[in-house]
Structure 1
Amino acid sequence: MNSNIIKIAIVGPESTGKSTMAKWLAKHYHTIWVPEFARGYCENLTADCTWQDEINMFHGQLALEKELAPQANKLLICDTTFITVKIWSEALFGSAPQEVLDELPKQQYDLYLLLNIDMPWQDDPLRNFPTRRAHFMQVWHQELQTLNANYVVVSGMGEERYQNAVKAIDAFTASV
């Protein structure tokens, strides 16, 4: 990947607007966004998610990012990262695949936007934990702090939320 590309990861618990935010930011910055591989993968599952599915989603997210990165215009906006695989594996199975844990410190993003849980829950067949958003928000904080990641919590509703994300990205890019 082009080392001049700034990688921005949009992360957070379920139903915080990650995909919508990623699309909006990519349009705003005239660049490409990397969709969440797991969403399409899980839409095609005919049974409960397995350990192997988690590993497949890990590899799929990395491959999709690698495939789309050359099309980026200065910024690469990523709708989540494979840290989600670690978080979900631990929630569902009690641990995460070793290859995911090994890759975590190698796949840093320049800036993470952690979307706050201050917006209403939107029901979706792929969402599982409407009552555990605060728990998963804390998990995201812990994961990002463990990685010593550069991150900003983005709050607000509607246009305010988008503008807060833009302010965070603009402040970051002005400092590098």
Structure 2
Amino acid sequence: MLRIALTGPESTGKTTLSRQLAEQYRTAWAPEYARQYLEERGPDYTLADLEEIARGQLQAEDAAVQQARHLGKHLVFLDTDLLVIKIWSEHAFGHCPEWILRRIAQHHYSLVLLLGVDLPWEPDPLREHPNHRQYFYDLYQRELRSQVANFAEISGSPAQRLEQACFYVDELLRGGESSRPTSA
């Protein structure tokens, strides 16, 4: 199963693009579990909440993988990943739980799409950092490079983002997991 994760700061179009990609490739996608969790409980959260969100995200990924298999597909799109939880946790609480760090080290994605901050900020009661998106983008980029992850940076208009993402997904499908995007 090829797992393609979308990551990056708030309000960069991860949900929209992951949904579009799932439609384009007629496969499953896992929505961001944090949104559902915080909509049900309110925007304030603790470190324990972040751990629950991480567990919920992993369950959502597993469910999407099962759905993709049921559809006879060998790829799945994931709206966010545990790297988001790591960066969020370190920013809000100064550290990340060790089990999440271990899961990040063990969890392999065939491709990670890092979404740029060049889209306009869209206000949302669950979003926190409209003026720090570049700061967070740089953190994601640094983390992905340190992991030697297979990742591509996606930017531009929503249509350009879809086009770029499809290019990288098609390259992955043509070349297998050894195909590395040029921006990684």
Q: TM-score with structure 1 length normalisation?
A: 0.94
Q: Secondary structure at the match of 1:23?
A: helix
Which residue is equivalent to 1:14? 10
Structure 1 residue ranges, 4+ long, deviating more than 6 angstroms after superposition: none
Query: 1:35 aligned to 2:34?
Result: no
- C-alpha deviation, 1:75, in angstroms: 1.0
**Structure 1 residues 71 and 133: alpha-carbon distance in aligned structure 2, compared to 1, 3 A threshold:** same
The one-letter code of the counterpart of 2:93 is F
**1:156–1:164 CA contact under 8 A, matched in 2:** no
**2:43–2:126 CA contact under 8 A, matched in 1:** no
Work out the CA distance in 2 between the residues paired with 1:64 and 1:113.
18
Which residue is equivalent to 1:138? 138
The one-letter code of the counterpart of 2:174 is A
Which residue is equivalent to 2:128? 128
- C-alpha deviation, 1:61, in angstroms: 0.7
* CA displacement, residues 12-61 of structure 1 (integer Å, 9 cap, x when unaligned): 11000000000000000000000111110011224621010011011111
Task: Name structure 1 gaps, 5 residues minimum.
Answer: none
Q: Secondary structure at the match of 1:44?
A: helix
Q: Secondary structure at the match of 1:64?
A: helix
Q: Secondary structure at the match of 2:114?
A: strand
The one-letter code of the counterpart of 2:28 is I
Task: Name structure 2 gaps, 5 residues minimum.
Answer: 177-184
- C-alpha deviation, 1:123, in angstroms: 0.6
Work out the CA distance in 2 between the residues paired with 1:14 and 1:46.
17
- C-alpha deviation, 1:92, in angstroms: 0.3
Which residue is equivalent to 1:48? 44
- C-alpha deviation, 1:143, in angstroms: 1.4
**Structure 1 residues 45 and 74: alpha-carbon distance in aligned structure 2, compared to 1, 3 A threshold:** same
Identity of aligned residues (%): 38
Which residue is equivalent to 2:64? 68
Which residue is equivalent to 1:96? 96
Work out the CA distance in 2 between the residues paired with 1:129 and 1:30.
33
Q: TM-score with structure 2 length normalisation?
A: 0.90
Which residue is equivalent to 2:55? 59
Work out the CA distance in 2 between the residues paired with 1:173 and 1:46.
40
* CA displacement, residues 49-93 of structure 1 (integer Å, 9 cap, x when unaligned): 101001101111111111221221221100011111111100000
The one-letter code of the counterpart of 1:43 is E
- The Cα RMSD (Å) is 1.0
* Number of corresponding residues: 172
The one-letter code of the counterpart of 1:15 is S
Work out the CA distance in 2 between the residues paired with 1:160 and 1:85.
27
Which residue is equivalent to 2:148? 148
